[in-house]
Amino acid sequence: MIQISELTLRMAGRLLIEGASVTIPSGSKTGFVGRNGTGKTTLFRAITGDMDLEAGNVKIPKDMRIGQVAQEAPGTDESLINIVLSADKERTSLLQQADNENDGDRLAEIYTRLDDIDAHSAQSRAARILAGLGFDNEAQERPAREFSGGWRMRVALAAVLFSRPDILMLDEPTNYLDLEGTLWLENYVNRYPGTVIIISHDRDLLNRAVNSIVHLEHKKLSFYRGTYDNFERQRAQALELAGKARVKQEAKRKHMMEFVDRFRYKASKAKQAQSRIKALEKMAPLSAMLNENVSPIRFPDPQKQASSPIIRLENTNAGYGRDAIILNGMDLRIDADDRIALLGSNGNGKSTFAKLLADRLEYVSGEVTRADKLKIAMFAQHQLDDLHENETPVEHVRALMKGAPEAKVRARVAAMGLGAQRMETRARDLSGGEKARLLLGLIAFDGPHLLILDEPTNHLDIDSRQMLVEALNSYNGAVILISHDRHLVEASVERLWIVKDSTVLPYDGDMDSYRKEVLKGSRKPKPTEPGGEINLESESQPSQPPKPVMNKQQRRREKAERRKALEPLKQKIRQAEKEISQLNAKLEDIEKQLAVPGLFQENAARGEELGQTRSAIEKKVETLEENWMALSTQYEEARAC
């Protein structure tokens, strides 16, 4: 076991942990969680002995080997498979001794030990680990210098996994993995025979791979048995008993129920709706867990809604010139209210597709049609480097609001989640999460019609990730999402597309079915016809006579006439949504008034009046939601015809 007693740690003079104690049982899979800046990585370094303790001690059995990921695998001429194999120091040493040993008895001892540590299977075990992290057989034989830093980090992770330490320590390992690699790692950690300590803000990883949680808060350490969801429930109960919990669940669930209800009864979206329902079930305890100091994330809505489809691809080929085609034959459409996640391993073309949509990459052939005056905002991790390091957030925003009063500029910065002190801090001194918030606010500043997010969560803690979920669900525009965070995907998108085999196709299935495919080693997509809707009942339906072939001008005219015919219905849907939103705001205000301590003791009549008003509004909301659902179903069915 790992025994931490009365531990006090400082970093750069800042007190992070004070007099904290916790015991981590041997063989446990433990997740370290807490807000960014609470000291999780510093605690890691204390356990590994890489920093001095101000007070207290950390006790680890002497025979326990600790393994952690190196900062980066070397960019040498050594092959990836050999780098991983050499990580097992004992095996490497024994093999070298065997080559130089002439004494028969000693040689027998060496081979016995090699057999004990299963050295004969080392090559295949190393290959399986590398394959799980995205390296095929050909890549495994290539020299490390041919790979970028992000891919070499995967090699470093593979090396520590292969070495099989008694205590495996992983600090945000999914930050350099794609969704497929994350799913593989989740399964690997869950089956790992030793002790695992992992820092992560990935909710699903913490639910599937760990069986205990150490929470860092207020400079103390608290141990909880169970998954992350169990930790949330236990802590929520404690906060409620302490009078600190707030009733936020209903309003947040309704944000997502609007999307679930739209597709609950549509066969083509049944699996996606079920995934969203699962996400809703997870939200209930989380709402009580959010720290009141966590700033929301907001995306301004477009001033004027664009006509659907906002982007249409017809037999489109894209890449980096005719000799470097990455994606072929794409026939897809994106509507003004679409929420789409892109699946597929890194290197298959997700980022290329995102650049094509964002008009940052010209298509090679085919056709790409965009709505008139379409505004597109794109977030990618490398853009964090585009921030002006010597400028403050206020200066960044002021450049976009020339002539605006200083109060309005600062209010806009505050809306990005940067308080008074941080808005005057130079960009180079902001944390990764603060930089991400600033960049998200800047790219969406003018209210885009389409928001493209490429791995937006890498620097966000769990609470901030939940704020991102709520921001996406409140945003009145289209979203294209690339993320290894499965909870974010399940909680904020409606459709899945897969980038595979040099094309992009709709995926027939939900995240659970995709996870099973990845873990089976089969990442083959289940596509529908390019650009078409999924029809789960198609096999039992009689074939339809072919439609007359229309030219491009006729197709556009027909689509325009259909949009015009559906516009009155869409206006009714928007009006219903507006009324529901207004009534929910009133309900939230009433709930706050009813939550005031001593209300019924001091003014029973007022409390009764508020209760009756709440009941009346809830009935009205229920009626409006039923009407909204009927209108939405009617609209979706008409649009699919």
How do residues 463-520 score in pLDDT, each as one tens digit? Answer: 888 889 988 988 999 999 999 898 899 888 889 999 999 999 999 888 888 888 888 7
- For the cut 80, the answer to whether the pLDDT of residue 399 exceeds it is yes
Q: Which of 224, 245, 266 is the last residue of a domain?
A: 245
- For the cut 80, the answer to whether the pLDDT of residue 267 exceeds it is no
Q: How many CA atoms lie within 13 A of 180 on its CB side?
A: 24
Residues 15 and 32 both lie in one domain: yes
Joined together, the tokens standing for residue 4 give 């931490």
According to the model, what pLDDT value does residue 532 have? 33
**Count of domains for the chain:** 5
Query: What does the pLDDT look like over 370-398, one tens digit per residue?
Result: 999 999 999 987 777 778 989 999 999 99
Mean pLDDT of 314-342: 91
Query: What does the pLDDT look like over 225-264, one tens digit per residue?
Result: 889 988 888 877 766 655 544 444 555 566 556 656 665 5
Mean pLDDT of 45-52: 86
- What rounded mean pLDDT belongs to the chain? 80
Q: Which domain holds residue 38?
A: 1-64+166-245
Nearest-angstrom CA–CA distance, 608 and 517: 55
pTM: 0.67
Q: Which of 510, 536, 562 is the last residue of a domain?
A: 536
Longest Cα separation, the chain: 97
Query: What does the pLDDT look like over 401-458, one tens digit per residue?
Result: 988 899 999 988 888 888 888 888 898 888 888 888 899 999 999 999 999 999 998 8
* 130, part of any domain: yes
* 442, part of any domain: yes
Given the DSSP bridges, would you call strands 376-380 and 478-482 parallel, antiparallel or unpaired?
unpaired
Mean pLDDT of 354-367: 92
Rounded to 5°, the CA angle 201-206-211 comes to 145
How big, in percent rounded to 5, are the helix, strand and coil portions of the chain?
50, 20, 35
Nearest-angstrom CA–CA distance, 519 and 514: 9
Query: What does the pLDDT look like over 530-561, one tens digit per residue?
Result: 333 323 223 333 333 334 445 545 555 665 66
Q: Which of 136, 161, 186 is the last residue of a domain?
A: 161
Residues 81 and 214 both lie in one domain: no
Residues 420 and 440 both lie in one domain: no
Query: What does the pLDDT look like over 274-302, one tens digit per residue?
Result: 666 666 665 544 444 444 467 788 899 99
Mean pLDDT of 7-26: 87
| Burial per residue of 354-391, b for 16 or more beta-carbon CB atoms within 10 angstroms, e otherwise | bbbbbeebebbeeebebbeebbbbbbbbeebeebeeee
Measuring CA to CA, which residue among 31, 433, 491 is closest to residue 230?
31
Give percent above pLDDT 70 in the chain: 81
pLDDT band at 529, cuts 50/70/90? very low
Residues 149 and 96 both lie in one domain: yes
Strands (E), 147-191: 167-171
- For the cut 70, the answer to whether the pLDDT of residue 114 exceeds it is yes
| Burial per residue of 502-515, b for 16 or more beta-carbon CB atoms within 10 angstroms, e otherwise | ebbbbbbbbbeebb
Residues 196 and 50 both lie in one domain: yes
